[in-house]
Each structure stands twice: as structure tokens, then as C-alpha cells.
Structure 1
Amino acid sequence: MKYPPLRDYGVIGNDDRCALVSRHGSIDWCCFPHLESSSVFARLLDAADGGHFAISPAAAYEAHFDYVDRTNVLETTFETANGQATVTDFMPIPDGSTGAERESGVEELFQQAIYRRLECDRGEIDLELEFAPRFDYARTTPSLERVDDGVLAAGEDERLALYAGGAIDDLELSSSATVTGTASLEAGQSCWTGVQYGGREPLATGDPEATLDETKRYWREWLGHREEPPGAMPERWHEMVGRSELVLKLLIHQETGAIPAAATTSIPEKIGSDRTWDYRYNWIRDAKFTVQALHDTGHREEARKYFEWFADIARTDPEDIQPLYDLHGETDIVERELEHLAGYRETGPVRIGNGAAPQRQLDVYGTIVQAIYETMQFDETTDIRDEWDAIYSIVDYVCDHWNERDAGIWEFRDERRHFLHSKLLCWVALDRGLALAADHDLEAPIDRWTESRDAVREAIETRGYSESAESFVQHFETDEAIDAVALLIPIYEFLPPEDDRVQSTIDTVLERLTTDEGFVVRFVDSEIRPDEQTGFVLCSCWLIDALVLSNRIDLAREYFESLLDCANPLGLYAEKIDPDDGTLLGNFPQAFSHLGLINSVTYLSRALEVDGDVTPENFHPDHVETLFRRGDSPTT
């Protein structure tokens, strides 16, 4: 298939890099040396010229893939008329428990590799290899040179080695900078191939079987020993939470703790649309949900590192805080179009960088304060006094600027409005700032902050709610634009779930934004941009959470099960789902989608079993705390 659907892709990776591997055995997306670096394989964005590393049978075949249990090691099984083979793909991670000590520089090189094991399970099979690296987003076609154990591809300042180890027969180099070869295997036989960025070492001289064992062990130990679902959580939910945890860990930058929104750039939100963005950056607004998800799943070290990352950003001048940063904390992010690439399924433009970086988005301030507030609920080692100067500055800044227009959560590029979400998060910044000051006996201008908080509340209640629409609306200048962000009002405890305006808002979202399957589009009837037709996974999770808080447990569970059905066969989500055919759209895999899933499982689990005896029949709102309160989660 020229452009496989996202359902046909798996992701492998480690610490700071990812690769997408299709069900047909082709690595179609990979950037080295880091996830946000330029690509060495980009067939995902240009089937003809993007570059790839493919392994598949020479004869007709059927294929399916799955992860090795509780790991990010991917196995693809090919069946032909004469035999069956399994290709195992992974990026290596050194496991300290093996005693394999590596200097930092060597370890970095060790991880800048992809290992591929070819094994014949029964019969006999010929596997064809095709290696076509294209550096710098396919702007550089490298030169190829035969070496003892494979081929070295070289660009002006990049090298990528194909390791064949003598197991690949008939290795040929074409004038089009493509390497082909064949591995002929019989039952019980196996061989190794792979690529090493920067040169031939250490892949060429390492022990690949030991490395595979190390990598499996690492993932399983990181995930922990939660082999059985806690409480009454269904096995299926438990498995999907585990997969979502593993996806998040793949995306977490080991050095800085930052988490990109996704592993890819320019997968369109809709085929034929020019809404193609680079998501390989960390959005500040993700912080509050990320901290909660990491703590709820017991990953304290990652949560702490992520806290340190955004806390460092919080110490800058509030005026200079951006909506997004690169994974190393850099702020100079320029958006450019790569006109030479056709785009996924011929949908362009292909973009690198992101023009939303310099936007003004007032919600970032509430996000930071909420994330710090949330961290204080879980991490007793954090001293709020170390962060108070930064929090004080942010909350004080919100007092002066909350009533300004901004670009909003959906980053409208040509519009500035008084967006509901931005005002809500300004209220959060003030409310949590006051709570932190009171809880920890910290000095603060209480009267000033309280007056501003009350003013924001009045503005939201009087200008953000439409009597005619019977719902909170997208921004203050409309009576008709319905936006899924209104579902966050009870989640942030701006109003209680039983408030009539909250309930009517949920009813309106169900009527106007929700498909029969429970997929929620972001907004409708907005004069800023035409209605969306595809379900936004995170918004669907928000609806599930709001339904749980409203004691509509049966409907919440029905929609959650429907959402689980729409993951790809490996349990991975993109940003959006086409409600007509279940097609996954947008960048992939999407961190926000997996964060939303983890948090929705938290809500549902709390509703279905608190202290072992709460069921939908005897549910009471007091049993289910919002995500942003102290509480133990059944997912840990």
C-alpha cells in the first residue's frame, strides 16, 4: 500500500527518539539523533522519495503485528504459502541491572540504533530487504559505500550504517542510493540486521540477543509488576492503561523530562486539509494532565522530572512564557514548509517547526500553577517555598492580564478573542495560587488575588454562558459557538457537576458535538473556523470524565468502551478519529490522547469502586474526586 493507514503502524523508541514501523515491515519514519531532529526515513510523508528501511517476504503474504508483552518491542509475523517468519524491531535501552556500564557518550550512540531480528518460525521463507536512507527530510540523498558487515550511507555531516552481518545475501547498491538484499531462512534459523546512526559502532560489535533481553527487561521493570488489574477494573482497561504508559515513556525526553505532543509532524487532521502541524514539541498546557497521569500510574521519577522541566520555565518572566518549547527547552522555533515532500496521502504542506510558539495563550499560566499545585498533592519532597517566587509572579501577572484577548487553546492563527478556556485557566491560576498561599502560610496579596478571581468568575458566568444555547460557549463574543472545552468547568471545580448550567452544557455537547459512538468534535457553529467533522480523542475523554462526575456512569462507560474499540490493533491513538469509518487522523502516536485515556480510566475506576463497595447504583458525587484533588487512584 502506498500510504498505509495509521492503524497499520507501530512505534518503537527509547528515551529521545522514535520510529514508526508499518505492518508490512517498513520503517517509514525515523529522526536521528533526536526525535525533533531531521529525518533519515520519511516515507510516511512522501511514498516515493521520503526514504525507508523495509523487510518483507518475496512471496505473497499475510501480516500481523503485536508488542512483546509489557514492552515496546514490536513483532511482525509474516505468513506465506511456504513458511512463517517473525521480524522483531526495537531501539535498544541499556539496562543497569545487567551491570552493563556505559559512558554517557557511548550510551548515546548505543541508543541511536534500530535492531531488527529475522527469524523463520516454520517452513522456509525468503525475506527481501530494501534500505533507502534520505537525510535531512529527504533533502539529501547520501552516498553508499560497501563495508565488511554492510553498507555505510554518508551525507555532508551525517552517517547511517546498515548492519547486515553476512546474513543478507546478494547485497546490491543501486544508482538510486538504495540497497537491496535477501535473507533465505529455514525453520529455526535467524539473523540480525539494523541501522546505527553516526557510524558502524557499537551495533556492529555488540551482542544483539543480549541487547534484546536488556531492552525487554527494562520496559517490564519500568512498567512495574501490575500484572493483574486492581480492584474491579476490567482487564481490557488495565491493558490499555499499560500500553498508554509505555507510549508516554517512549515520548519522554530522558535528559530534560519534556514530553512532545506526538512523534511525528504533518499527519493531517483531515485528508485533503492543510491543517498539518509539527507536534514534536512540548506544549505547556499538557503539564496539568501529564503530572496527574504520571502520578496516578505510579511513575514518580518521571513526574518529578517533568515538574522540574516546567517549574524551570515558570521561573522566567511571565511575559516571556511560550505555549510550547522544544524538548531541550529552546524557544526559537520557526515554522517552515518543506515543499519537496508530497505529504501523508498526498496531503500537504509538510511543516517543521510550529508557528504557535510565539502566540499569546493565557491558559499557560493556569496550567503551570495547576501542575505545581497538583505536584504538591503527591510529592512531599517538593518545597513550595522554592517555587513561590515564580508562582507569585505568574498569579500577579494574571491579575493584570486576564481580561485580554488571546489565541486560545486551539491556537487560532488569525483571531484573538476572549476564549472561555483561557479565562477558565486564569481563574485556575488565581484560585490555586490562593489555595497554595493559604495551605502553606505564604505571603501573598490575598485581597488583590481574590478580587481578580471573583472578577474572572463573574465574567465567565455572565459572558461565557449562553441562555439561548443552554451552554457555556467558545468565547465571550458568541451565543452559538459550542466548544468541548466547556466540559472542563466541573473538572477544574469552577462549578459543581450538579449545577444546572453544567448539566445543560453537557446535554448540549451530547446533542451538538457528540457522534452516536461518543466521539466529540472540538467545536461547532464558530465563526472563526468551519465545523469539524472528526472526533478529537482528548475531548471524547473530557466528556467521559464529565459524565462520570455527573453520575451518568452507564453512558460514560459505553462511550469509553467505544473509544477503546477505535485504537489501532496495537492500542495506539492518533489525535482524531473519523466517526464514519474509524480512520485515525493527526499526528501519531498522540500523547494527549493517551493521557486522556489514563485519566478517564481513573475517573471510571473511582466511580465503580471506592472503598470496595461503590457501584453505579449507590453512586454519590462525594465518592469521585476530580482529577485535581488529592486522592489515591486505582490505576496505581
Structure 2
Amino acid sequence: MEYPPLRDYGLIGNDDSCALISRHGSIDWCCFPHLESSSVFARVLDAERGGHFAVSPAADYESNHRYLDRTNILETTFETADGQATVTDFMPLCNGGEPDGDRFQQAIYRCLECDRGRVELQIEFEPRFDYARTEPALERTDDGVMATGDGERLHLATDAPFARALEVTTSTTAAGTISLEAGQRCWCWVQYGGREPASAVDREYVLDETKRYWREWVGRRDGAPTTIPERWHEMVVRSELLLKLLIHHETGSIPAAATTSIPEAIGSDRTWDYRYNWIRDAKFTIQSLHDTGHKQEAREYFEWFSDIARTDPASITPVYGLHGESGDELEERTLEHLTGYRETGPVRIGNAAGPQQQLDIYGTIVQAVYETIQFDPATTITADEWGAIRDIVDYVCDHWNERDAGIWEFRNERRHFLHSKLLCWVALDRGIALAVENDLEAPLDAWRGDRDAVRETIETRGFSETAGSFVQHFKTETAIDATALLIPIYEFLPPEDERVQATIDTVLEQLATDDGLVVRFINSDIRRDEEKAFFLCSFWLVDALVLSNRLDRAREYFEHLLEHAIPLGLYSEKVDPKTGQLLGNFPQAFSHLGLINSATYLTRALECDGDVAPADFDPENVETLFRRGDSPEI
């Protein structure tokens, strides 16, 4: 079997887990009971061993897929010489009254319907528990097949008239053919953990309720979001839906992506497990949730990282499991028996970034707290919360001048990274703002002194006259890094500063393609030049151009970025600028956060139709993504 390109996949899910489904009707990735649990289908990581659950015509066919409007329900349409059939895939959401609580959500429903003519649909069911380390035993049941192994169970069932079509063809595989004529439909479903509750529910009702849930969520905005130009609106809504699908209902945490080990480049060993929450995502997440009007989710996410902040700052780690696991609990392991996507291994589970020192996380936390209060005046800082924030700022005062692993998590390398120093400055600056604006007790003189010291260090050691740009770390004159685009966005320097404009020009010349795709860095002494463009960095460039009043180019680049989404509106982490091939874990939350934030920036800067800049445009009138106080005392 050939590996489908990432652009051929759609994602369904609920707030517990997700499943990747190819345009050929195959579920090639799914983990139960949670997103970060071990897989039951993993063909995306090994075409032969990984396991899958496929439904497709027995005859030659053409196929395409789409999401039902304003939902995460996927429709795949198959066209054959004799007819047309549609497979509707979704995972149910527990919305208050369903039986068995969380187990209700540990299911996938597939509705097979013949639209015209006659179509024979083949079913292939090859579950492989625990990342295909366990081959389950399969047994026939009255309504389908039960897979069991190593304490796990997965039940496949169909409507009664079609159940006999399923046969156990080998000890680990079941298959069958279902013939449908125009107007006929058949339900198939899998339930993790046994037969119930999926076998006892009304599937038509569950489908209708799932549609209603997603559509009501999109429409349930707490406050009016910024008006997005119509031609961008659909992509923003799809990004909202993707983020909601990833948000874990128990904790409010958001994983970086739905998958593990999709390589950053075919043939590269840069394959990581992204099914965890990175603290640095907090500031982008808070911004995008508020800008799309989803204040409840923003509050829940705020509460999640606020709990993390109320610990010893030295014990705060860059990455956490969706249930709060950290450090050694996220031990990284390699699955030697899987070949990897397109035979590009290693396949990794867990993530070794947990124990790294990354100083940027402290600025992220303080910024996200400040941001939340700016967005939601009803949010107040308790004495306990302020004590935790004050401890974090004090920690930054003591440690800002240390080396760390940086935002790109270079393994076995510690440098004075510009981005890390910038976020240390953010921690001090927003900490001061919180104290002053909320009349909170703090050692302001000491904090201001350290803030000034960080600023001086960045300005004297972080800018290279040779490169004409802010650089990646303090010991280089040539390494250009896209994180320097964040300097005006964090309001460290104003957009019109000559060094900021020179940095943007250098990024355009050295990191960006002619149509605005941006690689993360070049000329670094740490790792060879990047060749694949990073979507989030490309959106950062749009934001920096908006603040620089280069609106025509910003809009041009943004609309080009929209063209790189798959037809379903989803993004991976990276793209090959030469071929358009998507790479990296998929779908990637960071990319969709960047899209929402850039759409918001452009909308603030342009007139409502998105075509021209207002005659009185001034970058100072465009609220930066990461707001800071403007009190003269700060």
C-alpha cells in the first residue's frame, strides 16, 4: 500500500480523542481512550503493521471529501461506474445526558449510504492495540466482530441486515462486502472497551446531536468577534473547529497536534510526539480563543495553566501531558517495530523536551495572565495567583542570563537565545504592568532594574550589524531566526525602529520565499539550514508586515498561505516550498492559531472588505497580539 499524502486526510474527533481518515475511506490513526493513549489504528505510521479500518468501493472509484458545514463531521463521496455512495464519519460528544459518560465518546460511527445506482462497499477491519505491539484475537458476535488483546477490547458492529457480511478472515483481520442500492444506508460503528454503549443508542439521533453540538458551539460566541472578511471567514471557522476538537474536556489543555512522528522532512529523523500541551502555546491560544469569541474555553485554558503556575517555578516544565503529566512521566521511547510515515522513522512516543530548561515559558505564563485580564475584566487575580506570578518574575530575575534549549528545543545545545531573552523581558514587563495596574505588592524597583538589564543585553548582543538583523543567539553574527519577527509584536521595540525594519527585510531576503513561506532559521552553527517552511513563522511575517504598514504584501502573503491548506482547510506543521508537500504532525494547532491571529491582525488594519487600507491607517491603532500596559508608571 502507498502512503496517502497528508492533504488526503481529514480529522474527526471529540474532546477526548481523534481519528485520521483518508480520502479512500480508511481510518489510519486513532488512539483510545484518549488522544495521548496508545493507538488502535496506526497505518499512517506503518502501512503493513499499523492497523486500519477501511470502507471503500470494491470497484474502481473516484473520491473526495468535505466537512458538513460548521462541524467536525466528515463526508467521503465515492463515485463508481455503477453509482455513488457517501460515508459519513464522526465521533460522538457527551453533552450532558448520554449513557456511560466518557465511554460514550470512545466510539466512531460510520454511516454508509448509496446516493444513486448500486455500490458494493468493502469493509476491512484490522485493529492493532498498543501501537501495533499487540495483535488482537477476533471473534464473531451477533452483530459484528469483537477484538480482544492485552486487556483491551474493540467492538465492530453493523446494522442487523448486514452483520452477516462480516467474516473473520484471519485471526487478526475481519472483512466483508455490503451491497447498497439508491436510498439504502447501513451503519457501522466501533466501540472501545466492549459493546456498550454504542450498541444501545439511536445512531441517527447521535448524528443529529453531533451536528447540533458543533454548529451551536461555532455560533455560541461570548461577545462579538472582530468581523472577518467573507473570503477568509470559512478558514477561520475551520481553525476554530479544529482547536475545539483538540481541547481536552477534562483539563482544558490543548495538544500541539493530533499525531506523533510525522516527519519534518521525508528521510529525516526529526520525528516527534506532539500529543502534548506546550506551555509556550498559551499566549497564542488565549489570543485566538478570545478573538473568536470563545471566552469559556479561554477561561478553562487559563485555569489549566494557572494551576501549573502555582508551583515552584524551577519545577515548571516546557511540556505537559493532557492530564497534567510532566517531566519523566513523558519519557520518550522509540517503537522499533514501526517503519514510520513513508518509512521515515523513528516512531517516537513521549517527548524528551519535558526536562529541558526553556526560559521562554515564564514570559508565556505571565503574558497569558496579563492577556486574559485585558480581554476579560471579570477575571481577577487572587492573592494565591499573584504570589505564584511574583515567584515566577523573581525566578526570571535570578535566571534570565542563563543559557537554555530555546523555542526550537535544540537537543544537547544550550545558548543565549534571543527569543528566550525576549520572553524573559516579557515576564518582567508584564509582571510590572500587572502589579501597577492592579495595585499589587511587588519589588518594582528590582524588577525594573532587571527589565532594563535584559533590554540592554538584547539590544547590544542580539543585533548584528554584519547581518543587518537581530540574530538567533548572542554568539553569532549570521544566524537568522524567524523568532526575531516577534520583537515588534511583543512591543519590545516599535515597528518603525530601524533595527526592526532591517530585521524584517533580512527575513524577507533570507528566510522567505517570494510568496511569503518562511523557514525557521538559516546560517546557524547549531543545525544545518532549514529547507521546509514553518507555517506559524509564515503567519508571524504577516503580522510583522501589518505593524510595519506593508499591508499589500501582508495581505498577499496571507492569502497565499490560505492556498496551502488542504481542501478541508487543515494545516500540518510545515510545507515544502518547492513541491507543496505538507510535512510534520497533522493537523497542527500552532498553524491554525497563527491563521486566526493573522486574520485578526489584517482585519483590524484593513477596511471590512479586506481590500484597501483605511486612509488614516497607523500601526499604533492596530492592537498588537500580545498587549502590554501603557501606564507611564510601568
Q: TM-score, normalised by structure 1?
A: 0.96
The CA distance in 1 between the partners of 2:198 and 2:579, in whole Å, is 42
Correspondences of 1:10-409 after superposition (within 5 Å): 10-96=10-96, 101-102=97-98, 106-166=100-160, 167-224=162-219, 233-331=228-326, 332-386=329-383, 387-409=385-407
Aligned mate of 1:413, from 411, 414, 433: 411
Alignment match, 2:585: 587
Query: Would you say 1:539 and 2:533 are equivalent positions?
Result: no
Amino acid at match of 1:112: Q
User: Do 1:169 and 1:182's aligned partners in 2 also have CA atoms closer than 8 Å?
Assistant: no
Alpha-carbon offset, residue 156 of structure 1: 1.7
Structure 2 residue aligned with 1:428: 426
| SS of match in other structure, 2:156 | strand
Report if aligned partners of 2:225, 2:293 keep a CA contact under 8 Å in 1: no
Report the residue type matching 1:21 in the other structure. I
Aligned-pair identity in percent equals 74
Q: Aligned partners of 1:503 and 1:613: how far apart in 2?
A: 24
Counterpart of 2:574, as a letter, is K
Q: Is the 8 A contact 1:553 1:616 kept in 2?
A: no
**Which amino acid letter does the alignment assign opposite residue 289 of structure 2?**
L
The correspondence for 2:463, drawn from 437, 462, 465, is 465
Residues 27 and 612 of structure 1, relative CA distance in 2, 3 Å threshold: closer
Relative distance call for 1:612 and 1:251 in structure 2 (3 A) is closer
Change (3 A) 1:614 1:272: closer
1:451 and 2:449 aligned = yes
Q: Contact (CA 8 Å) 1:277, 1:351: kept in 2 or not?
A: yes
- Matched residues in 2 for 1:569 and 1:501: separation? 39
User: Residues 398 and 230 (structure 1 numbering): CA distance in 2 closer, same or farther, change over 3 Å?
Assistant: closer
The offset of 1:169, in angstroms, is 4.7
AA of the residue aligned to 1:425: L
Q: In the alignment, which residue of structure 1 is the partner of 2:632?
A: none
Tell me how far 1:124 sits from its aligned partner.
0.4
* Separation in structure 2 between the aligned mates of residue 230 and residue 362 of structure 1, nearest angstrom: 33
For the 8 Å contact 1:365–1:426, the answer to whether it is kept is yes
Letter in 1 for 2:426: V
**Cα distance in 2 between the residues matched to 1:305 and 1:187:** 46
SS in 2 for 1:174: strand
- 1:634 is matched with which residue? none
TM-superposed CA distance for 1:618, in Å, is: 3.4
For residues 22 and 607 of structure 2, what CA distance do their matches in structure 1 show? Answer: 39
Which whole-Å CA distance do the structure 1 matches of 2:227 and 2:105 have between them? 39
Unmatched 5+ residue regions in structure 2? Answer: 630-634
Deviation of residue 143 (structure 1)? 0.5
Q: Deviations over 1:273-310 (max 9, x none)?
A: 00000000000000001001001111111100000000
The letter for the 1-side match of 2:109 is Y
Measure, in 2, the Cα distance between the counterparts of 1:231 and 1:395.
Answer: 33
Quote how far apart the aligned CAs of 1:102 are.
Answer: 3.5
CA distance in 1, matches of 2:365, 2:165: 57
Distance 2:226 2:367 in 1: 29
Task: Tell me how large the CA RMSD over aligned residues is.
Answer: 1.7
Report SS of the residue matched to 1:526: coil
Instruction: State the Cα deviation string for residues 106-145 of structure 1 (Å, max 9, x = none).
Output: 1211100000000000000000000000000000000111
Provide Cα deviations, 1:512-550, integer angstroms capped at 9, x if missing partner: 000122100000000100001111000000000000000
Q: 2:91 & 2:40 partners in 1: Cα distance?
A: 15
| Of 238-247 and 372-381, the range deviating more from structure 2 | 372-381
Single out whichever of 217-226 and 119-128 deviates more from structure 2: 217-226
Instruction: Note the residue ranges of structure 1 that are not aligned, 5 or more in a row.
Output: 632-636
1:90 aligned partner, one-letter code: F
Between the aligned partners of 2:240 and 2:101, the Cα distance in structure 1 is 24
Of 472, 488, 491, which aligns to 2:489?
491
CA contact (8 A) 1:551 1:616 kept: no
CA pair 600-28 structure 1, distance change in 2 beyond 3 A: same
| Residue type at the aligned position of 1:571 | G
Tell me by how many angstroms 1:94 deviates.
3.4
1:494-505 pair list within 5 angstroms? 494-505=492-503
Amino acid paired to 2:46: D
Displacement of 1:629: 2.6
Contact 1:378 1:630 in 2 (8 A): no
Q: What residue identity is the alignment partner of 1:317?
A: D
Aligned residues: 623
Shift of 1:621: 1.4
Q: Which digits, 9 at most, give the CA deviation of each residue in 1:440-478, with x for residues without a partner?
A: 111100110000000000000000000110100000000
